[in-house]
Structure 1
Amino acid sequence: MTARLSLARVERLAANLSARDRSIILDLARTRILAGSQLTRLHFHDLSKNSRERKRRDVLFRLISIGFVAALERPIGGIRAGSKGLIYALDSGGQRALPFILAGEQQDPPERARKPWTPGQTFLLHSLDVSELYVQLVELERAGAIALPQFLTEPASWFPNGLGGILKPDAYTLLQFGDVEDSWVIEVDRATESLPTLRRKLLAYVDFAHAGGEGPDRVTPRVLVTVPHPGRLTAVQGLIEGLPEPAGQLFTAALFGEATRTMVRVLRE
């Protein structure tokens, strides 16, 4: 079991990882959880259609067997059938291996390794949505539409609000196209919060902008609010219209399925 691995054993196992193994572990560290289908799109897309799922299963099985990756127990009823619907996270061995994998990388490993646990379905679906945005941006970068120098999820995406508190967006990303770059914080709204609660959250960004606050890249980032359906989009757009300036320039609301295309469009304007 992972808990019995000595640090020397973890280091030896880390040294024998393939480049794809390391990339999988780094993406799980970045996003916290990824579905099997998302891992296929990220790391096995270059294989033939007939072999990519089999190869992914083999690689994940091996990483699980050495205690670096864990398959989470799915909630009752599951999310999807089959191995594509399995949800993966870093096991404690993979977390302990990060300092060896991250040599020379600008990313801090966790302070201590923790055994992964299966969160409630609401949290799980929200986290998978954040992961999906990352996967889509990687696919856009692969297609040459953007460069993606940075994508952070909680808690790495949090930063000071300039007023003694902390802003806690679901994700932070930096996109580039040629000489142009945009910084975004992302709030994934699944319509589970009331509009007054969302309003208070967005007002914190307005206060941040008024205070001249700077995000991780020393600029005031744009704020993207993704929503699950057109009715919620209309409601959120109306909410934004009622906020004090610079809300009109600060916020963009978009259907979840159009979120990454919206960021690319704004980047190219």
Structure 2
Amino acid sequence: MQSALQRRRIDRDELRRISEVMPERDREVLRRIDEHRYLTTHQIQSFTFTAHGSAGSAARTTRYVLARLERLALIRSLPRRVGGVRAGSAARIWQLAPAGARLLRDEGQTYRSHEPSLRFLQHCLAVADVHLGLRNLTTMESVEAVEIATEPTSWRRYIGPGGEQRLLQPDLASVVRTRDYVDRWFIEVDLGTESLPTVLKKCGQYETYRASGIEQEAHDAFPLVIWVFVSQARAEKVKSSILRSPRLTPELYRIVTTDGFATSAQEWLQ
């Protein structure tokens, strides 16, 4: 059941006053939650509160800012936590409240917060973890910048072989700029909830989009498709299926696990 704070309604004038005095860091927190739909306290800290002298200081400031945004009825926490109640405050999961969405978006747009299915929630949080892993690539000496697009900015529209409109929907699209070259990646995060035929069908969509030539015309090359899986067994099964498929191009794909993503990404850039 929602608390009185979470049910509090903000009228247009009050929302404008809040927006006028809101620190940019608070607005950045709202934007991060908006782009991923759901984030844990720890993920918000990793995205936004990175300039503190210690992890303890960053954690305290994060909790303080989130508590303020909750009192203003701009964000809401979900009843469930990652890892259960014992995981502590860092495991609280946040979403925008309607007023927070209105502050970021057009007043005419409607927004309703709701509790998601466990499957959808876990996927959103896993994609956010991969996003954070990509951001950390900037710690490499050779990496000058990392640009990351979340859904729906990561999506690509194209024309299918029969002239029909199609939509490719990567979880993330990234551009990693180093001193010597530019790497482009489409990223799919799979928690083992999709069947193997569904995964291979998505690979087929990438092949069709590649055949359209849109990316090559814009960037002179087609991005690698990175599949991130939870288990090594699942990753190996998909990898062997891609190798056996006559309609797929194995060199187009990189198959990794969530635990090995950061290390593999650094190796691809060396």
Deviation (angstroms), 1:84? 0.9
**AA of the residue aligned to 2:155:** W
Asked if 1:138 is matched to 2:135, the reply is: yes
Q: Does 1:28 align with 2:30?
A: no
- Find out whether 1:156 has 2:153 as its counterpart: yes
Q: Is contact 1:186-1:223 (8 Å) kept? A: yes
Alignment of 1:212-223 (within 5 A): 212-214=213-215, 218=219, 220-223=222-225
- The 2-side partners of 1:40 and 1:46 are apart by 10
In structure 2, which of residues 69, 87, 92 is the aligned counterpart of residue 86 of structure 1? 92
Q: In structure 1, what is the Cα distance between the partners aligned to 2:15 and 2:226?
A: 39
Q: Give distance in 2, aligned partners of 1:145 and 1:79.
A: 41
Deviations 1:105-133 (A, max 9, x none): xxxx6972413212111111111000001
Aligned to 2:63: 57
Aligned residues: 259
Q: Call closer, same or farther: CA 1:3–1:50 in 2, change over 3 Å.
A: closer
Show structure 1 runs of 5+ residues with no match: 100-108
Q: Measured at CA, do residues 70 and 217 of structure 1 come closer, stay the same or move farther in structure 2, by a change above 3 Å?
A: farther
Tell me how large the CA RMSD over aligned residues is.
2.8
Distance 1:134 1:266 in 2: 17
Change (3 A) 1:234 1:30: same
Letter in 1 for 2:30: I
1:185 deviates by 1.2
TM-score by length of 2: 0.84
Structure 1 residue 200 displacement after superposition: 1.0
Give the drift of 1:76.
Answer: 10
User: 2:3 corresponds to which residue?
Assistant: none
Q: Which has the larger radius of gyration?
A: 2
Give 3-state SS (helix, strand or coil) of 2:137's partner. Answer: helix
1:72 to 69, 73, 78: 78
Kept in 2, the 8 Å contact 1:146–1:264? The answer is no
- Aligned AA (2:222): T
* Contact 2:123–2:191, Cα closer than 8 Å, also in 1: yes
Amino acid in the other structure paired with 2:97: D
Give 4+ residue runs of structure 1 displaced > 4 Å after superposition: 142-145, 215-219
Q: 1:116 to 1:44 in 2, by over 3 A?
A: same
Give the match for residue 186 of structure 2.
185
Match of 1:229 among 228, 231, 254: 231
Q: Which runs of 5+ in 2 are unaligned?
A: 1-5
